[in-house]
Amino acid sequence: IVGIGINVNEPSFPDHLPQATSLFIASKKKLDREKILEQLLFHLNRQYNLLHSGAVEDIIQSYHSKLYGLNRKLVFNLPKGPDFIGKIIKVDTDGKLHVTMENGNTQSFAHKEIHHDLGTNFIDSELTQ
* Residue 42 host element (H or E): helix 33-52
Question: Rounded CA gap, 106 and 87, in Å?
Answer: 9
Confidence band (pLDDT; 50, 70, 90) for 127? Answer: very low
Q: What is the DSSP string of 113-125?
A: S-B--TTSPPSSS
Give the contacts of 47 (CB within 8 A, at least 6 positions apart): 59
Q: What is the pLDDT of residues 56-113, one digit of tens each?
A: 889 999 999 999 999 999 999 998 888 899 999 999 989 999 999 999 999 999 999 9
Confidence at residue 129, expressed as pLDDT on a 0 to 100 scale? 40
Nearest to 104 by CA among 123, 84, 81, 124: 84
Question: Rounded CA gap, 100 and 129, in Å?
Answer: 11
DSSP 100: E
Question: Rounded CA gap, 83 and 101, in Å?
Answer: 11
pLDDT at 126 over 70: no
CATH fold, domain 68-129, is SH3 type barrels. (2.30.30)
- Range(s) for CATH 2.30.30.100 in the chain? 68-129
Q: What is the pLDDT of residues 2-29, one digit of tens each?
A: 899 999 999 999 999 988 999 999 999 9
10 Å Cβ neighbour count for 114? Answer: 20
* pTM for this model (two decimals): 0.70
